[in-house]
């Protein structure tokens, strides 16, 4: 059976609370991989407005989401526009509101932390918060309401506030093989033919499917 169209707006029959992000995101500063989805009973089409916060064009930072990412309701991606200047006596963003004699915006003064990058096959739990400039590695799991301010290693499980790695999903040698195999980059026909192996924990079978 072939894979579904990644541009399908509502890929689950009879349920309009889930959408493939490629079908609903048109912001050029947000990159989304195939089959990544957002689930929200209030309507997933509001993903950008509800989940991607302080994302201003004049700052230019990007949110990059890989393939096969699962994002639960009310997860938050805090972008660099949330940062305030901290090098002076006041943190108030005078320039943003048009105050005369205010210093202009600069990435350095505002604590710019770079793009936010979510790897492939990542699961982000309900109301989790990803802070600016964080990279979440492939295969990671971010627990419900976790507050993630640091990079997350591939295949790590992160929970809590502040977010901390509580375990690795697989042994280091298995993680290394998974990162080399990169099943999410296979041709759609190859993925479709090997869904059972991808959903298993048999690394030998997965390696043989390449």
- Hey, where are the domains in the chain? 18-169, 170-209
Residues 6+ apart with CB under 8 A from 54: 78, 79, 80, 81, 82
Architecture, CATH, for domain 18-169: 3 Solenoid (2.160)
Instruction: Compute the distance between CA of residue 187 and CA of residue 177 in angstroms, rounded to an integer.
Output: 19
**Is pLDDT of 191 > 70?**
yes
**Is pLDDT of 175 > 90?**
yes
Mean pLDDT of 85-96: 88
Considering the candidates 10, 46, 55, 84, report the single residue annotated as catalytic.
Answer: 84
Residue 55 falls in the annotated catalytic set: no
Give residue 105's pLDDT band: very low, low, confident or very high (50, 70, 90).
confident
**Is pLDDT of 205 > 80?**
yes
pLDDT of residue 57: 93
Summarize pLDDT for 117-156 with one digit per residue, the tens.
999 999 999 999 999 999 999 999 999 999 999 999 999 9
pLDDT top residue among 85 and 200: 200
Residues 6+ apart with CB under 8 A from 107: 59, 80
Give residue 1's pLDDT band: very low, low, confident or very high (50, 70, 90).
low
pLDDT of residue 93: 87
pLDDT of residue 122: 99
Question: Which among 197, 210, 195, 203 is positioned nearest to 2, based on CA atoms?
Answer: 195
**Residue 88, class by beta-carbon neighbours within 10 Å (0-12 exposed, 13-18 middle, 19+ buried)?**
exposed
Mean pLDDT of 24-29: 97
Phi and psi angles of residue 34, each rounded to the nearest 5 degrees, phi first? -60, 140
DSSP label at residue 63:
E
User: Mean pLDDT lowest for which of 10-14, 90-94, 107-111, 178-182?
Assistant: 107-111
Give residue 111's pLDDT band: very low, low, confident or very high (50, 70, 90).
confident
């Amino acid at each position: 059976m072939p894979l579904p169209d990644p541009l399908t707006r509502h890929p689950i029959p009879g349920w309009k609370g889930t959408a493939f992000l490629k079908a609903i995101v048109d912001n050029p500063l947000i990159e989304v991989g195939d089959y990544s989805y957002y689930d929200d009973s209030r309507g997933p089409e509001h993903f950008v407005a509800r989940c991607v916060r302080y994302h201003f064009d004049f700052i230019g930072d990007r949110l990059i989401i890989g393939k096969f990412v699962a994002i639960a309701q009310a997860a938050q991606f805090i972008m660099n526009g949330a940062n305030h200047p901290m090098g002076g006596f006041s943190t108030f963003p005078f320039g943003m509101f048009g105050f005369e004699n205010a210093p202009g915006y600069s990435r350095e003064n505002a604590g710019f932390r770079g793009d936010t990058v979510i790897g492939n096959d990542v699961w982000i739990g309900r109301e989790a918060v990803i802070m600016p400039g964080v990279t979440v590695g492939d295969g990671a799991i971010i627990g419900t309401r976790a507050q993630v301010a640091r990079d997350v290693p591939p295949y790590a499980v992160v929970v809590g506030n502040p977010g901390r790695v509580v375990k690795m999903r697989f042994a280091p040698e298995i993680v290394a093989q998974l990162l080399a195999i990169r099943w999410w980059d296979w041709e759609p026909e190859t993925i479709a033919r090997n869904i059972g192996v991808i959903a298993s924990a048999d690394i030998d079978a997965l390696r043989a499917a390449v």
